[in-house]
Every structure is written in C-alpha cells, then in structure tokens.
A and B are shown apart, each in its own frame.
Chain A
Amino acid sequence: MVCIMTTLPRTTGKKLGLVIDLDTCVGCHACVIACKGWNTENYGAPLSDQDAYGAEPTGTFLNRVHSYEVTPAEGPAQLVHFPKSCLHCEDAPCVTVCPTGASYKRTEDGIVLVNESDCIGCGLCAWACPYGARELDAAAGVMKKCTLCVDRIYNTNLPEEDREPACVRTCPAGARHFGDLSDPDSAVSRLVADRDGADLMPEMGTKPVNKYLPPRPKDTLEAETDILAPFLAPIAEEPRGFFSWLDKTLEKI
C-alpha cells in the first residue's frame, strides 16, 4: 500500500478531468466562488482567508481565473479569460516528491488528492507543480488542491445533475466540461478532438489530463457588412456651398 501511495499508478481505470473552453469563458469568476464555497463547506480543511477585510487580503483558492491579452501579427488584440486549477496530470511530479505519501493519484479514476492527516506542510509538491495548482493553507498548514469535487461526483445523496464538480455545475457560459478523457467516445474527448484541445506546458512532461480548447479565430469583417451600406455611404466627400465657405473661414482664423 505504501508503494502505491508514494509512486504513480502505471495506468488508471478512468482519466477524469476537465475540458475548459477558452473561446466561451467570459471571465465571470463564478467557478472560483463555487469552488471556494463547496471546498470550504465540505471535504477537508476549509479554504481560509487572511486579513479578509483588511488592506492586504489573501486566501487559498483551488481555481483562479487569469486574463491574457493576445495580439496577433495582424488584427486587433483579443482578451482571453483563463481559468486554471489542478490538471490531474498522468505523470504528476507533485505526487512523487511527497515525503510522507500524503499526495497520491487514485488508481480507479486518476484524481490527484492530498491525505490531509498525513501532510506535514513542507510545500515541496507546490514547488514541483508547474501550474500553481497547489496552495498551502495558511490557517490549516496543509496543502490544498482541486479534488475534482470527489465528494460530489460520486455522491448519491445529491441529485444526479449535481454530480459534477462545483465549477462545472455553476458555469453560466458552459465553458467547463467534466468527463472521462480515457474514453475516446466521451463528450469531453470528442470536444478535444474537434477543437484541437491542448496541454499546458507540454515541455514539462507532466501529461495533464485536463485540456484547454483554444479561442476560435476572430471573425474578419468583410468590406460590406450590410446590404444597406452603399446607401448609407457619405455622399459629399468635400464640403460644398455654405459648409465650404465656413470650412475655409474657420481655417483662416
């Protein structure tokens, strides 16, 4: 059992994870709040805040939404909202560095979890994670990370439609998708195939399970966007008559 805890499973039964659509995300942070709420009120140590109403508030979050400006070689810049949480990597470096075996990857579904009663709070797993998915809770002194809402997805006390991660359930834009990425016919796998879903920092060799769907190319505006446009074009290029006189007079002043 110790051996299973300390090392990564060779294969997992399922690869449960998220597919995040960067084209659809509107950056509302509802997933951030839903995550903080569920994971503070349910499994494990609550996600604490420090100086919450003071000058320098900080706190533990398992999901954070960044915003990036992407400027193409030609055309206008684009704003991309970018939610980021644990990617439940197949080759998770956070698991193998753990000295106590508190960090582990589940054999049955590939979820990466922390056994909080074994965590000594050394922080090395957070150092090993390229994505900033792990945060040491300042109040509890243990490492917190996304559990993929393991206490929701198998929870038969919840109505069936609620048995998905809180961030997915709450997303008003439908930008977050949950499913089994080991099954090529699952809805999430088809999304990844259709939309060229990508890995974050593939050069790190972590083989993330979560995938990101890139923003679709921006529509290009044709010369005529409206059939009425020709009729609405300005008729007089140069002012004539009274306006011509006024223009010249004003120039002279």
Chain B
Amino acid sequence: MHPAPSVILFTSLSGLGFGLLIWLGLGLPAVSGWVAFAFFAIAYALAVGGLLASTFHLGHPERALKAFTQWRSSWLSREGLCAVIALCLMALYGAGLVFAGERWTVLGWIGAAFSLGTVFTTSMIYSQLKTVPRWNMPITPVLFLSFALGGGALLAGQVAIAKTLLIVTGVVQIAYWLAGDKALAGSGSSMTTATGLTHGTVRAFEPPHTGTNYLLNEFAYVVGRRHSLKLRVIGLVLLSVLPVILLLLPFSHILALVAVVSHIAGVLIVRWLFFAEAEHVVGLYYGVR
C-alpha cells in the first residue's frame, strides 16, 4: 500500500493524542490548573493535528461533514463520530480542571472510553479489509491500542505504567510482524483464484496499459521494502527499547523528553512500514505484490 504521509501522520499523532487523553480522563496524572492546560494542549495538538492531516488526502475535504452519516456500516464514519464525541467530552472535562478547579470523574471516564474507542475504530478501518491480508488480522486492533496506551502513558508521565506498556507494545509489534509475514500466503488468494484460470500456471504476460495507473500507485508499493528488516529493528529500538532504558534510569526531564522524541520517531517508522509492507490482493492481477 502507498504510504501516504498524511495518513501516517494522522494515525501516529492522533493515536498518541487520544492515548494521552485516555490517561488524562482516568486522572493519571491528577493535574489541575495550568499544568492541566499544558497536558490538554499537547493532547489536542496531537489528536486534532492528526485529524486535520488526514483530510489532506481527500479529493473533496469540503464535504468531510458527510462522513459522519454512515456509522451503521462504515468504520471510517464511526471513527469520525467517536473522535468528535471524545474531543467534546474531554474539552468539557479539561475546562473543569483548568478553569473551575473541578474534577468531574465520571465525565473523564466516559471521555477516556470514547478516546479508546477512537483508536479502536481507526484500527478497524484497516483490520476490516480482507483485500489486505496483512491488516485483516485480530492483532491489528491490539497493535493500535497498545501503541496508544503505551505512548499515551509515556506522554502522561506515568513512568511505571509506561515502562510495562512500552515493553508490551514492542512484543505486540513483533507478534504482528511474525503473523503478517504469513498473511498473504495464508489468505488463499493467488493469481489462480484472481483470474479463475485453473488449467495451468498463470503468469502476467502484459499489463492493461504501458504506463502506470491509480491502482498500481495506490496498492503496489515496492520501493523501500528491501530495507524493511533494518527499519523494523531501528523502529523497535526507538519506540520501545530506548524509551524503556531511559525510563529505568533516575528520572530527569531531559531524559523523559529524549524518551518521548525517540518513541515518536519509532512510531513513525513502524507506521510507515505498516503501510509500505502491506500487500493488496489487486497486485495479483499485475503479477506484483
């Protein structure tokens, strides 16, 4: 799949932003006043910034409001609704903490639940697609949720929780890669099922046109996949191993900042791989993966 920067930024940053909102909604840390304002500002910058980035790849962003209507069937629509509800509830909860000095606990929990729901619905947009076997796995939502919870805990300064969850995130990421590497072969789709030509070995002889097209640009991304193992190791070290080591050292704000920057860089790398490594079955018609 084509790794569009807007979608990588959106899923990475919004995941972190809503992850931070989950912990803030649970009262971890139990901040108020201007400290709370700073935490909520970071969370909203990430969550809303990511959502805005996601509109950049739309053909008609001015019609984006229509995307809230089809929540009965569409995970993308559900995600939009969940995100707006979470942002509204958490804004109210945050306003209480910052301006009124009040902690509306139940409102925080509901806001945290919708923030978690936003990350889950985002993951289901990918996980639902049978056409991309590497995404069409139950571990895909687990992966997105562990990233949001681990990264959110790190941003929320919950050192003890973050250490554990970042290790869990690393393990889930490795499990996702191991399962994903077998997904296309295990999907049962091949050039034979794609063409229905069962009387011999099928080889793509000639593509429909000499030039490229939307389908190849969008679904048959091959550049850079050969570096995937190196990128996997670099991404895993940056997102999980290094931050955990830094959190184990005696606490300092500088080290915490380095841990956050390292984690975000790692998330961006593995999210790029999430798209670049994913094979769409339409590639079978072109004899490419």
Which residues of A does B touch, CB under 8 Å?
2-3, 5-7, 22, 32, 56-61, 64-73, 77-80, 82, 84, 93, 95-102, 118-124, 126-132, 135-138, 140-143, 198-205, 212, 214-215, 217
Q: In the complex, what residue of chain B is closest to A129 when comparing beta carbons?
A: B131
Q: What sequence of 0s and 1s flags, for each residue 187-200 of chain B, a beta carbon within 8 Å of any chain A beta carbon?
A: 11101011111111
CB pair B199–A217 under 8 Å, yes or no, is yes
Indicate the member of B72, B193, B194 with the most A CB atoms within 10 Å.
B194
Name the contact of B196 in the complex, choosing from A73, A123, A132, A200 (C-beta under 8 A). A200
Instruction: Spot the interface stretch: B25-33, B73-81, B98-106.
Output: B73-81
B56-99 contacts to A, CB under 8 A, are: 57-61, 63-64, 66-70, 72-77, 80
Give Cα distance in the complex from A127 to B135, angstroms. 12
- Kindly list chain A residues whose C-beta atoms are within 8 Å of the C-beta of B263: none
CB pair A130–B75 under 8 Å, yes or no, is no
CB pair A66–B282 under 8 Å, yes or no, is no
Counting chain B residues whose Cβ lies within 8 A of the other chain, the interface size class is 35 or more
Name the contact of B201 in the complex, choosing from A71, A124, A128 (C-beta under 8 A). A71
Q: A203-B193, A204-B131, A212-B196 are in contact. Are A141 and B72 (CB under 8 A)?
A: no
Q: What sequence of 0s and 1s flags, for each residue 177-211 of chain B, a beta carbon within 8 Å of any chain A beta carbon?
A: 00000000001110101111111111111111101
CB pair B207–A71 under 8 Å, yes or no, is no
Q: A32-B208, A127-B280 are in contact. Are A66 and B285 (CB under 8 A)?
A: yes
Give Cα distance in the complex from A179 to B68, angstroms. 37
CB of B35 within 8 Å of the partner chain: no
Give Cα distance in the complex from A198 to B209, angstroms. 25
- Kindly list chain B residues whose C-beta atoms are within 8 Å of the C-beta of A214: 196-199
Q: List 11 A-B contacts (CB under 8 A).
A: A2-B70, A64-B208, A69-B202, A70-B203, A100-B70, A120-B60, A120-B66, A126-B215, A127-B132, A128-B128, A203-B189
Give Cα distance in the complex from A233 to B209, angstroms. 46
CB pair B60–A121 under 8 Å, yes or no, is yes
Q: Determine chain B's interface SS by DSSP, over half rule.
A: loop
Q: A118-B63, A204-B130 are in contact. Are A70 and B202 (CB under 8 A)?
A: yes
Name the contact of A132 in the complex, choosing from B64, B68, B199, B215 (C-beta under 8 A). B215
Indicate the member of A70, A71, A93, A124 with the most B CB atoms within 10 Å.
A70
B120-145 contacts to A, CB under 8 A, are: 125, 128-132
CB pair B201–A58 under 8 Å, yes or no, is no
Give Cα distance in the complex from A80 to B202, angstroms. 10
CB pair B70–A122 under 8 Å, yes or no, is no
CB pair A58–B211 under 8 Å, yes or no, is yes
Q: In the complex, what residue of chain A is closest to B74 when comparing beta carbons?
A: A99
CB pair B204–A68 under 8 Å, yes or no, is yes
Indicate the member of A60, A97, A135, A215 with the most B CB atoms within 10 Å.
A97
- Kindly list chain B residues whose C-beta atoms are within 8 Å of the C-beta of A138: 214
Give Cα distance in the complex from A136 to B8, angstroms. 20
B1-52 contacts to A, CB under 8 A, are: 1
- Kindly list chain A residues whose C-beta atoms are within 8 Å of the C-beta of B60: 119-121, 141-142
CB pair A204–B189 under 8 Å, yes or no, is yes
Q: How far is the CB of A209 from chain B (nearest CB, A)?
A: 15
Give Cα distance in the complex from A137 to B59, angstroms. 9
B237-272 contacts to A, CB under 8 A, are: none
CB pair A82–B76 under 8 Å, yes or no, is no
CB pair B80–A99 under 8 Å, yes or no, is yes
Q: A61-B208, A203-B187 are in contact. Are A99 and B77 (CB under 8 A)?
A: yes
Q: A72-B199, A217-B199 are in contact. Are A101 and B69 (CB under 8 A)?
A: yes
- Kindly list chain A residues whose C-beta atoms are within 8 Å of the C-beta of B156: none
Q: How far is the CB of B187 from chain A (nearest CB, A)?
A: 7
- Kindly list chain A residues whose C-beta atoms are within 8 Å of the C-beta of B201: 70-71
Indicate the member of B191, B195, B201, B203 with the most A CB atoms within 10 Å.
B195
CB pair A132–B219 under 8 Å, yes or no, is yes
Q: In the complex, what residue of chain B is closest to A64 when comparing beta carbons?
A: B208
